[in-house]
Amino acid sequence: SGLGESVVLYSGWRGLLVEASPYFWPAIEEARPLALLAKAAAMPQAAGLRSFRHIPSFPEISSLTEFASGDHHDRSVFVEHQVQTVAVGELLKDSGIRKDVDYISIDVEGPDVEILEAVLVAGYRPQVLTIEHNRVEERIEKIKSLLRDDYEVVLSSASNWDLWAVEKSLAAERRRFPG
């Protein structure tokens, strides 16, 4: 949502936030007035309206219904409604995001790996990225496989839920000039 534990912590941040849950929209608009908010569910390809499960007790784990059982979270108590989907590659292009964007964070409670793949196929090469894996080993291995040629995994102990990666030339530059 770009709120709370987000790495997007300062109010002058400019960028694109994609959030499917109407629950978060007012807070995002207030906290991130310079950001563009896409009120939709990011997907590898647009898929029209999809069923979405809002989790009142823990809104941060709300997800598209089809992905609600893909990790260890309990989503058994929910309010279901429809949300629009958007193809992430098209959204980035239509929003004027540079192909060498500074940072991309993928945390969608579901098709995170598939969205990463769509971002890369669309030609985007963020300098730094984070992607949620929720300690699902299959996801971690797939992410590492997608990133192997162009990225270095960093900050392995920084998060139990996310993989952090830095574009290899940026990582090499950092090693050349430490401090």
The whole-number pLDDT of residue 124 equals 95
The whole-number pLDDT of residue 175 equals 62
Q: How far is CA 50 from CA 23, 94, 109, in A?
A: 17, 22, 14
The whole-number pLDDT of residue 179 equals 52
Angle of helix 137-147 relative to helix 112-121, nearest 10 degrees? 10
Q: What is the spatial distance between Cα 62 and Cα 110, in angstroms, rounded to a whole number?
A: 10
Q: DSSP code of 59?
A: G
Helix (H) or strand (E) holding 30: helix 25-31
The whole-number pLDDT of residue 80 equals 95
The whole-number pLDDT of residue 77 equals 93
> Which tens digits make up the pLDDT trace of 3-38?
454 444 455 677 899 999 999 999 989 888 888 999
The whole-number pLDDT of residue 15 equals 86
The whole-number pLDDT of residue 114 equals 92
The whole-number pLDDT of residue 8 equals 47
Q: What is the spatial distance between Cα 116 and Cα 1, in angstroms, rounded to a whole number?
A: 17
Burial track 47-75 (b if 16+ CB lie within 10 A, e otherwise): eeebebbbbeeeebbbbbbebbebbebeb
Spell out, as residue ranges, where the chain has pLDDT lower than 70.
1-12, 157-158, 160, 174-179
